[in-house]
């Protein structure tokens, strides 16, 4: 079986699964891509839907035009849409960068939500200095099918509607889908993060379903939980535990990230 001349890496960030490709200028993928008619959107939709890859998104990583500025990613959700920021993927970018020796630690990563910094903790977890929070959580009441849902709109790199619940079972998938596209949240809508005590789960744009974890969702949940207090907040998501430190210039998101597979793609995938 003939395979493509570059490898795809599969990484896990607290249960959030991402594919990464080394897109550095002059590299194997860079040379291959220059001869193809397939767009990165098409590549993402194809690769993320394959059973053995099944990922929440695909990230192409390269050096910044100014080497002193670190790295830049081209980030796509599984449906091919773009995303301003993703905390779990940023931690995975740290693990991937370390694996392929693309940048020394710590390093800066340019995203559509601004530049974040990534470093490895002594305990092996990865820490991301997330985008600065520009506004405190804004209370919103949204109506779906005649029922009101009172939560908070928070932009933690991407917008989240954080909805406190006594049990996740209170709000079903269809309600989250309707809240995610609610006209009061603007044309692009928002992720919906359900918050049960210190536990949270997020219905994500671009995936259009719940995900095992969401870094920006954890930050948004911590901001609502904190009620303006500073300190360290533990947020438990279905895929694992995340820590959010509040009080500095930026929230710090801390959690696991590791490579699960290095995969060769058959040429026929993009025939």
Q: What is the dihedral of CA 230, 235, 240, 241, to 10 degrees?
A: 30
Looking at 48, 92, 176, 214, which residue is catalytic?
Answer: 214
Catalytic (active site) residue 86 = yes
Q: How many helical (H) and strand (E) elements, i.e. helices and strands, does the chain have?
A: 5, 17
Nearest to 202 by CA among 218, 178, 181: 218
Whole-number Å distance between alpha carbons of 167 and 188:
27
What count of Cα atoms within 13 Å lies in the side-chain half-sphere of residue 235?
34
Helix or strand or coil: residue 235?
strand
Cβ-based neighbours of 121, under 8 Å, separated by 6 or more: 127, 254
Residue 72 DSSP one-character state: E
Is the alpha carbon torsion for 271, 93, 104, 100 positive or negative?
A: negative
* Strand-pair partners of 142: 149
Active site residues: 86, 214
């Amino acid at each position: 079986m003939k395979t493509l001349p570059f490898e795809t890496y599969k990484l896990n960030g607290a249960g959030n699964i991402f594919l990464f490709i080394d897109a550095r200028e002059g590299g194997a993928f860079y040379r291959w891509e220059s001869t193809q008619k397939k767009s990165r959107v098409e590549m993402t939709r194809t690769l993320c839907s394959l059973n053995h890859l099944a990922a929440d998104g695909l990230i192409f990583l390269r050096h910044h035009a100014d080497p002193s500025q670190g790295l830049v990613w081209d980030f796509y959700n599984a449906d091919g849409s773009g995303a301003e920021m993703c905390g779990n993927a940023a931690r995975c970018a740290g693990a991937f960068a370390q694996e392929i020796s693309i940048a020394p630690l710590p390093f800066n990563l340019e995203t559509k939500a601004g530049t974040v910094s990534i470093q490895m903790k002594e305990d092996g977890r990865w820490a991301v200095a997330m985008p600065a929070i520009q506004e405190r959580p804004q209370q919103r009441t949204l109506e779906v099918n005649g029922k009101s849902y009172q939560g908070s709109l928070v932009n933690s790199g991407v917008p989240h509607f954080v909805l406190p619940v006594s049990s996740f079972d209170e709000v079903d998938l269809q309600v989250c889908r309707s809240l995610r596209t609610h006209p009061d949240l603007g044309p692009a809508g928002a992720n919906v993060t359900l918050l049960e005590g210190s536990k949270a789960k997020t219905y994500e744009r671009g995936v259009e379903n719940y995900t095992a974890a969401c870094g920006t969702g954890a930050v948004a949940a911590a901001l609502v939980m904190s009620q303006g207090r500073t300190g360290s907040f533990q947020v438990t998501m279905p895929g694992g535990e995340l820590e959010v430190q509040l009080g500095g210039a930026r929230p710090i998101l801390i959690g696991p990230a590791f490579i699960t597979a290095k995969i060769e793609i058959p040429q026929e995938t993009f025939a």
